[in-house]
Structure 1
C-alpha cells in the first residue's frame, strides 16, 4: 500500500511540475535590451542595423524589447555624452535591462566612464569598436565584444591598385583620439607609404607656397605612395589640400565627424574609408577594406543571444577581432569612372541600380517581348489582308449609292433632307438627334424656327427653293427646331432635274441636300475671337509692364550715376556730404537689386521654372523665427506681436517661400505703420480644414477703391514709400502655387490685415 501511495505522489508531483513549467513559459516576459548608438538617430545605417538585429534575435527564438539611446557624439562633447547617457540609463533602470549593447568607440567609452551602477552589474557587449580601451575593459568581467581594428595597410594598397601611385590625404584634429589613429596608421603603413613631401627623383614639392603651377588638365604622378596629413582646424590648408588637383591624389577617411561627413563630396579627387560608417550613405566615399555594419550587428546579436540563453560572459573572450571585406558604393565608382572589373576578388558592391543589377534579365525579357510583339504584328498583318479582301467586295456594292450619301460621310451630325412643294423631309436620324417626332416640316414651320435676325434672309431665298437655282447653295442660320434654344445649322443643297407630274402640270422643283449642326464650330470661333482679344490685351499689358519696369530701373540708376559723378568730380565735398552720397548710392543699389530679383522671381514663378522644396513645417517654429528676426527692426512706437495656438500646426510646404511671403507682409506693414502694433498670428480653420496665417497692423490702411489693385505688378499706393511694387504680386503667385488664397481686409486710417489660407495637409 505504501508503495502505491508513493507511486501516486510521484505522478502528482510530475503533473504539477509540468503545469507550473507550462504556466511559466506562457507568462515569460520579453528580454530588455539597451542599445547605445554613437551617432544621431537619423544616421541612415541605423534603420538597417535595427532590422538585422531583430531578425537575428528572432532566428534564435528570443523575444526582446529593444531600447535605443543615441549619443549624437558629433554634436556633444565627451562630458555631455557621459551626462546624457547616465540620465538615460537612470530612466531605463526601472526596466531591469538584461543586457547592454554598445555600438562604436564613442558609445563604449561613454558607457565605461559614465560611472553608472548598471555598468558593473549588467552584461555588456560591444561591437564596431576601432580602438577599445583595454585598461578600462579589463576592470569589468561582465564585458565582452568585438574589435573592428582598422586595416590601414590594406586600404593604402587598395588605393594604389585602383588609382596608381598617389598622395593619400588624411584629415585629423589635435585631439587625443586622433593621435592614436595617426600613430597606429603610421606604424601600419611605414613600409609602403612615404611621409615626406618631396618626390625622390624630381625633388618637386607636393604642396605649400613653393609648389609648382601646372595646367589643370595635367597631373604629376608620384614615384611612390605618399601620405599627407591636413589639420582639419586649418581652413586654408584644408581647402588647398582637397581643392587642388594638380597631383594624383586620394582622400582616406579615418573617422566620422562633422568635418569628414562632407569632405568626400567636397574633395576634387577620389575618397576611401577605413570604417564602414562612411560607405554607402552619400558621403562621396568609393569604399574600402572594412568590417561591414551587417557583420558587426550579426556577431553582436548572436553573442547577446548566447548570453540571454544562459551562457556566462566569462565563457567568451573579452575582445574578438572581426573579419573584414572589400565593400564599394556603385554610384561613387561610376562617378570616378572606376570599372568594377578592377576591384579585388570577393568585393561587395552596394547601391547598384536596378537596371544594372538585373541587366541580363531585363535583356532577356526585352528579347522575349520583342519576339511576342513580332508574332502579334505578323498575325495582325494576316488578319488585315483577310479583312482588306472582304472590304473590297463590300466597297464594290457601295459604289452605286446615291450622291447625298457621300455628303453624309463627310463629318458627324450630318443629316439628309429633301424639299418639294413647300415641305421639308428629313431622315429619321435628324428627328432622333433633336428628340422630335418624325413628321415633315412645312416651309412656314421651318421659317418660324429660324432666328428673328435671319428670317428675312430665308424669305429672300425661299423663291429659289420654289423656282430653281443654277448651282449648289450653302446657307448658315440659327434654328430652334425642338424649342430648346437656337443653334447654328448649315444647309448644303442642290437642285434636281425639274419633274413634270403630268402633261398638264408645270415643272416642279425638287431640292436635295445635307444639313449639319455647326454650333460647336461657332463656339470655337467665339473662343478664338476672345483669345485674340486677350492676346491683344496681353500685348498692351506687356508694353505697360516694360514701361513701368523701365521707369523703376531708371530711377535708382539715375541716383547711382548722379551721386557717383558728384563723388568723382573735382567739387570739394566735406566728409558728411560724401557719406550721405555713399549712403544714397548704397540705398539705390539695394533697391535696384531687389527690383531685379523681384522681377526674376515673379517671372520664374509664373513660368513654372522656379523649384519649390517641400517638407514638413512647424508653423509655430516658423512664426517664432520671423518674430525674432523682425522684433528689433520695428520703428519707434510700433510693437511686434505674435499669437500661436498651444498645439503647433505641421503643414507640408516650402518653408523658405512661405517665410518670404510673411516677411513681405511685415515689411509692408512697417512702411505704413507709425504707431500701435504689427501682429503675426495663425489659427486653425477646422470647418474648412485650412490654416489661417495673418499679418495685421494699425497703420494708415488702404482706400476701398484701391484694395483690388494692391496685388498687381508695380502698384504703389504711396509713391513716396520705398519698394518696387512687386512684393505682393510675388506673394500672391507663391500662395497660389501652394493651392492657397490671400484675403485682404483694410480700413483707411485704422490698419490692414493680410490673411493667408493654406490647406492643412500634414505629411
Structure 2
C-alpha cells in the first residue's frame, strides 16, 4: 500500500513538471526612440511587461534606447544594426518599437531580423501605411495628432491670446508635423478668423529670435506656442517661456509643455504588450492589423499654476499630471478612515473563515483517496501519450537513474518484446545505451550539465547511440531537457531518433553538388528572400550561419547593367507569366569582382495561375566559359591589331629609312664633282651626310631595340653604379650635340655619392633619348638633366626638363605610343619614348611627363634604388 502511494506521488510530480516544461519564456526586444531621461520611459516598460504578462505569456523584455534626439538618421541606422545583432545573440522572438524614430530606423537599417520575426509598434504619429502593408509580420497602434482639437483647446483656455507661434526644425518628423498642423490650422482659421499664425524654424531663425518671441513678457503676452515635434532645445525654451506650449507628444510633459493631445504612455505600452502576447500565442500580425490609440488632453500641474489656470476648469477635458503628493492622494486620505473599518471587519471575517477551514480540512482528507485514484488514471493516460510519440523518450531523476522509457525507445535499441512497461525504472544512466562522440561516452556528461545549468543540451553532431543489449550503434540526434515543477528541477528527459538514413542521403546530395559545382536555391514568397546553401553564400562574403538573403541584398550583388533585366524576370515569375527560364548575369563576389553565373528556375503553380506556390532553381558559375570566350575574342583582336601594326610599321619604316638615305645618296653624288663647290659647301655636304648617317643609325638601333622588346630578348644586367658619374658621362657626351642658343645644364645634389643597383647602359639609353627628344623641340633656352631622392621611399627621380615649345594635353595622352610624333616635320620615327617607357618598366620604375605649351616640358623617371 505504501509503495503504491509513493509511486502515485512521483507520477503526480512527473506529470506536473511535464506540463510546466511545455511553457516557454520568450525573449522580447523593446526599442524606445529616446533615452532614459524621457519622463515616461519607465511607464512604457512597465506597461509593456504587464500587457504581456496579464495575457498569459512569459517573456524577458530587453530595452534598448535609440536616443533619436541626439543622433543623426545615418547613425541611428548603425545603432539599430547593433541592436539587431545583440537581439540575434539572445534569440529574440519579437520586437516592440515606441514612437516613429525607432520603427522607421529599424527598417531603414536593412537588417534582416525585423523581416524574420514579428514587430509590434505603438506611438507612431505619422504612419507610412504603404510600408506597413508590405510587411506581413507587423501590427500595432498609431497616435495620429489632431491639431484642430489642440487649437480648439487653446481657444477655450486662453481666449485672449490670438497669436499662434509654431516652432519647427528641418527634421523629417518636424516637417510631417508642420504639414499636419497647417491642415488643422486651416480648419481652425475658417472658424476663428481673428487668430494669426507664424512659423519659426530653429535652424533658420537664431536662438535669440525664438527666445525673444516666447520668453520675453513684452512679446509673449498675446501668444501661444505649438510644437509639432518636441526636442531638447524646446525643453529649455518651454521651461523659460512666458507663453504656454501646446504639443501632440507626451514627451514634452514635465519639460515645459502646458498641454498635450496624446495617448497615455502606460496605456499605449500596455496595448502593445497585449498585441505582443497575441502574436507570441500564435495570432498572425496581419490579422491584428493597425489601430489608432484613443487620445486625450494631458495637462502639467505646474504649468497650470504658472499661468494661473484653475485645474477644475480643464479637468473635464482631460487629466492632470505632475501634481503634488497631496493633490494626487487626497482621495486616499479621505478613505483611510473607512478603510480602517473595513480592515477590522475583514479580521472578523478571517477568524470565521479560519474556523471553516478546519472543517474543510477534514473533507479534504476524505477526498484525497479519490484524487489518488484520479492521479493513477492520469499517469496511465500520460504513459499512453508518451508511448504514442514516434521519437524515443527516456526520463531520468536528478540522481541520474532511469524513470520511464517509451515503446519507440524499445524498438530503437531492439529490446525483446516481453519487457513490460517501466522495466528499467531505478537503473543508472548508461545501463541500456550510451552516446558516443569522437570515441568518448558523453551521456553522463550531458546529464550532469543539464543538472547543473538547468538548461537544455543538444546531442552534438556526428554522435552515435550504442545499445548495450547487442552492441549495435547508429547516428543519433536529439536533446536533453530539464523537467521543472514549482520552480525546481526534478528530472530530465532525453528525446532521440535514428538519423543514419537522413545523414547518408544528405551527404550523397552534398557530394553530388560539390562535384558538379551546382547550387540549389529557393525563393520565399512570404519573406521576399532567397534561400541558398552556406557554401554558395560564403563565395559572396556571408558567414556560415547565413542561409537566406533578401531581394534587396541580391540586387546589390548583381551588376548594374544586368539589374533591370533580372528585376523584370522576377516580376514575370511572381505575376505567373513564366514557369521556367534560364538567365545569365554577373554577380559581385566577396573580393568585389564580378563573375558570370547561370540561374535556372522552375515555378510550382499555386491555387491560381497568377500566384505561384513556390519558386525553385539551380545555379552555377560560368565564369570559366566567359573567360575562354573573352580570351578567344582577345586573341582575334590581337591578331587583327598585329596585322595593322605590321602594315603601319612597314609604312613608317619605309618612309623614315628613305629620308636619310635620300640625303646621303644625293649629297654623295654632289661630292663626285668637288671642283664645282667651295670648301665651305663641301664641308656642309659632309656634315649633312654624317648627320643623316647618325639619324639612320639611330633609327636602325631603335628598330633593333623594338625587335628585342617584342621578342623578349632584351637583356638587363643590374649592378651597383654611381648615379652622379652616370649623369655626368651623359652630360659630357651630349654637350657636343646641343643646338646653337641652347644650354645643357646638370642639376644634382652637392657632394652626393648616390649609388643605384640597376642596368647603367639601359638607364643611359633612357636619359640620352630624353635629351635627344628635348633638343628637337628646344630652339633656345636650356635643357636640364638631374636627379633628386624621394624622402621616405626607396626610389630616386631622374628628370630632363626643357624650355621648348611644350606638348598639348592631347599630345600627352599619346606621347608614349609607338610611331606617335607631336610634330610630323621633326626627325625620328616616334619610337624613342616608347622604348624609354618599356625600359623603365623593365627596371620596375615609372615614367611621367608634364608640359605647358610655350613654356617647356619635363620628363620624370622614377626608379627603385635596387632593381631586382
Normalised TM-score (structure 1): 0.40
Report the structure, 1 or 2, having the larger strand content. 2
Normalised TM-score (structure 2): 0.35
